[in-house]
A = this chain, B = another copy of it.
Amino acid sequence: MDYCEAINKLPGSNENGLYGKNCLKTWDMTDEEIISVARGACALKALRDNNISPKIFDSGIAVSMFTKKDSGMELAYASGCDLLGLTIIEKDRKLVNSNINETAAMASYMADSIGICESDFIEKSSRYIKRISDSVEESQKNGVINEKPFVLNLGSDEDSPVQTISDLQYMASRFGGIENLKGKKIAVTWAYSPDGTRSLAVPQGLLSLVTRFGMNVVFAAPEGMDLMPGAIEKAEQNSKDSGGSFKKVSTMEEAFADAEIVVPVNWAPFSFLEKRTELSAANLGTYIDLLEHELRENNKEFIDWEVTEAMMEKTKDGKALLLHSLPVDVTDITCIRGEMTAQVYGANLTSLLSEAGLRPYVIAAMIILAKSEDPKAAFKTIAERAMRRYF
A38 on interface, CB distance cutoff 8 Å: no
- Chain A 73-111: CB-based contact to B (< 8 A → 1; otherwise 0): 001101110111101110111000111011001110111
Contact of A79 among B61, B335, B388 (CB under 8 A): B61
Known: A56-B391, A63-B75, A82-B59. A357 touches B91 (CB 8 A): no
- Chain A 328-352: CB-based contact to B (< 8 A → 1; otherwise 0): 1010011100000000000001100
Nearest opposing residue in chain B for A110, CB measure: B79
How far does the Cβ of A391 sit from chain B's closest Cβ, in whole Å? 5
A317 on interface, CB distance cutoff 8 Å: no
A30 on interface, CB distance cutoff 8 Å: no
Copies of this chain held together in the complex: 3
Known: A63-B75, A75-B89, A99-B333. A390 touches B378 (CB 8 A): no
Contact of A60 among B334, B353, B389 (CB under 8 A): B389
Residues of B within 8 A of A105 (CB): 353, 356-357
Residues of B within 8 A of A112 (CB): 390
Q: Which of A115-123, A143-151, A292-300 contacts B (4 or more CB under 8 A)?
A: A143-151
Complex: A84 Cα to B60 Cα, angstroms? 10
Q: Can you list 9 A-B pairs with a CB-CB distance of less than 8 A?
A: A55-B58, A56-B390, A75-B109, A79-B111, A97-B335, A99-B333, A102-B327, A102-B328, A371-B390
Smallest CB-CB A-B distances: 6 pairs = A79-B110, A53-B58, A105-B353, A144-B353, A142-B350, A109-B357
Q: Taking A59-B84, A60-B82, A99-B328 as given, write out 18 further A-B residue pairs in contact, using a Cβ cutoff of 8 Å, ordered by the A residue number.
A: A53-B59, A55-B59, A58-B391, A59-B83, A71-B93, A71-B106, A72-B102, A75-B89, A82-B110, A102-B328, A105-B356, A110-B360, A112-B390, A139-B353, A142-B350, A143-B350, A371-B390, A381-B391
